[in-house]
A = this chain, B = another copy of it.
Amino acid sequence: MSRFAGLTPLLAPRSVAVLGASSDPTRIGGRPIAYMRAQNFPGALYPVNPNRAEIQGLKAYPSVADLPEPPDVAIVAVPAELVPAAIEDLGKRGVKAVVMFTAGFAEMDDAGAAAQDRLIAVARAHGMRILGPNCLGVFDARRSYYATFSSSFDSGWPVPGRIGIASQSGAYGTHLYTLARNRGIGASLCVMTGNEGDVTVGECIGWLAENPEVDVIAVYAEGIREAPGLVAALQAARAAKKPIVMQKVGHSELGGKAAKSHTASIAGDDAVTEAVMQEFGVFRARNSEEMLDIAHTATRKIYPVRNTLGVITVSGGAGVLISDVAEHLGLPMPEMPPDAQARLRELVPFCGPRNPVDATAQVSNDVTLVKTFMESMVRDGGYASVLGFFSMTASARRWPAIREQLNLVRAEYPDRLYVLSVIVPPEGRNELEADGWVVHEDPTRAVVAIDAMGRFGAAFAAPAPAAAPIVAQVTLPGTAPTEAEAKRLLAAAGITSAPEAACATAGKAVAAAERFGFPVVLKILSPDIVHKSEIGGVLLDVGDAGAVRAGFDLLLQRAKAAVPEARIEGVLVAKQLKGGVECILGINRDPVFGPMAMFGLGGIFVEVMKDVVFHRCPFGPDVAETMIRSIKGAPLLLGARGRPKADVKALAEMLSRLSAFAVAAGDRLQSIDLNPVFAMPEGEGVFAADAVIEVTGR
């Protein structure tokens, strides 16, 4: 059985009980019954109310014990003080799932949170799942299942369709579904998770991913509370090639609760979820219209792996606008092949045959020109996606003839993504959608939606990433290790630091320096001196043997003067790296997603420009290289403006090893900062110049 099948009694039940059932179809306990009666829910519907024999024309039962069978799901719409007994009764009766409308729990205060925890514990003991509490419930129009008290159906029933909605917010989930309905977009199933005492939005995504009646998943989330469920759900959706469009708002609890190490504070709280969404090809929508645009376009199930856009029009004008948007998004709009252009120009001398392709007003005289032009685009241009910008033409008298010509091409080449930017009344829109077009009034939004399909295609087709490197078991010390200890731990995992040697005498220091090559860095070596530079305990640019000797003595003098009782073990001699690009590699433990790796360029780039990238640990060098190449400052590493190329392979290897190290180090690892790391020119490797590891106590 799949991981998420346990939610089926909750999301697609055969029988429903309503505790706190009301005869008034406008009250919270009356609405689900009224809705399911109005829409002819095919399963059993059991009102439970000790005071009535009949409710809304149905036989009512005095208690859960009196029900003729244990229902798949029970809606709980009783006051908070009656909830504990109700949960106990339902659990004992073997009910599999509960939709709990009742509020007054974790959203209220600490006492409410404790009460919620007790309920969930009781339910779990009985193997019963709970949606909520304090939730607006769930409905599926195709099953006529309405375990919700949303008043949104006052203005119309949902449009059946293949989009599933999972929302943490009831108000926003309803808002979204209503917008969809008003646009004629089929979003029949909508689940709203409320307090998420038990069932999470991640699990609901997973169930939708496995549900053959759903092709596209739309998600509204404010904070992810549980990682394994969400990650499994995203994996299931990607494996099933089901696109997920997600609006993620708010300061995530993840980052929010995180101990604010240097690495965490750079990015802000949102970066972790963003990284997880990117990892699984989830499209992040900026607003509800973008969410619906993209979800709706995705229901065509055409996800080009290598997307290209061809635009056809009969009036010119929006070509510049469309090209601008496509360029901004990185969606290629290649020109038509020269021979095809020549053929079109023979037909219509003043046409625009490149791309956008403009068949001109000549189509008024010969409407078959539309077919000829579009056929050439699809066949000769080979575009994966075709956008027709016809705007007002779709209200003109000649439109039915144009539409017919366009449809001939669509039928001949059904594997392409066909989108129209037209202004038509709803009936006209529905006709075109029935033809197989996706209709977006606004050409900008059309291009964004087309581009999103290519992103889904690329994510679905991406090869499985390489395995993360295997690193030996890491045994963390009881407290934060010193720099040298940290470097030793990392070295065992193949993470190299600049060559360095602890030297007890000046002679040994000179020998080490000569081995490394000049210049070198000297640092005082003492377990009692943590902040070396504050006492002048670090010397840079030490250029020859004499200077090493002099520096050795100077550091010992300074140390004794500053911390007379310090145990002095000597001096650390390290090769001074020149000519490398300064980077920062880091790890920070997220309370939900565990260790997250960070990469950025050193100094200003991270601190001022926030030019960093994150990824869950562990991952292989291919993912690491993609991360490195994704930051804005990447040209600095890739040889911009005549600079030498940095050793990106070695950098990716180090980042990947660091991610494996972070997992091997276990839960006590809080953070790692390798800052700076010097990425040397190609073939010369990368070296951490400093390493800080933070741990929690044993």
Residues of A within 8 A of B (CB): 26, 108, 150-152, 154-155, 169-172, 174-175, 178-179, 182, 222, 247, 249-250, 286-289, 313, 315-318, 320-321, 323-324, 350, 389, 391-393, 395-397, 423, 425, 441-442, 444-445, 604-605, 607-609, 611, 632-633, 635-636, 640-641
**A332 to B445, alpha carbons, bound, how many Å?**
29
A313 to B169 CA separation, bound complex (whole angstroms): 14
B635 touches A317 (CB 8 A): no
B395 with A154: CB separation less than 8 A: yes
In the bound complex, residues from chain B placing their C-beta under 8 Å from that of A152 are: 392, 395
Which residue of chain B lies nearest to A286 when distances are taken between CB atoms in the complex? B444
- Interchain CB contact under 8 A, A321 and B172: yes
* A316 close to B171 (CB less than 8 A): yes
A150–B21 alpha-carbon span in the complex (Å): 59
Complex interface: chain B residues within 8 A of A323 (CB) = 250
Question: In the complex, are the beta carbons of B607 and A633 less than 8 A apart?
Answer: no
Give bound CA distance, A481 to B397, whole Å: 66
A392 touches B174 (CB 8 A): yes
Please give the distance in Å from A130's CB to the nearest CB on chain B. Answer: 20
CA distance A108 to B316 in the complex (A): 13
A423 with B171: CB separation less than 8 A: no
Pairwise interchain contact B170-A317, C-beta atoms closer than 8 A: yes
Question: Please, which residues of chain B bring their CB within 8 A of the CB of A635?
Answer: 608
The answer to whether A391 and B318 touch across the interface, beta carbons within 8 angstroms, is: no
Nearest residue (CB) in B for A28 is B361
Query: How long is the Cα–Cα vector from A286 to B287 in the complex, in angstroms?
Result: 14
Q: Is the CB of A441 within 8 A of B179?
A: yes
* Given A175-B317, A607-B640, 9 more pairs with CB closer than 8 A: A169-B318, A170-B317, A172-B318, A175-B318, A178-B423, A287-B442, A604-B605, A604-B633, A609-B633
Whether the pair B607, A391 counts as a contact (CB closer than 8 A) is: no
Residues of B within 8 Å of A174, CB to CB, are 391-392
CB distance from A165 to the nearest CB of B (A): 14
Chain copies in complex: 2
Name the residue of chain B whose CB is nearest to the CB of A320.
Answer: B250
Is A604 touching B636 in the complex (CB atoms < 8 A)? yes
User: Given the known A-B contacts A222-B320, A324-B250, are A423 and B182 also in contact in the complex, defined by CB atoms under 8 Å?
Assistant: yes
Partner pick for A608 among B169, B445, B633, CB 8 A cutoff:
B633
Residue contact A444 to B350, C-beta cutoff 8 Å: no
Contact A154 B320 (CB under 8 A): no
Report chain B residues within 8 Å CB of A250. 320-321, 323-324
Known: A108-B350, A423-B182. Contact between A632 and B609, CB under 8 A? yes
Contacts of A172 in B (CB 8 A): 317-318, 321, 391
CA of A423 to CA of B313 in the docked complex: distance in angstroms? 33
Min Cβ gap A602→B in Å is 11
Of all chain B residues, which has the CB nearest A108?
B350
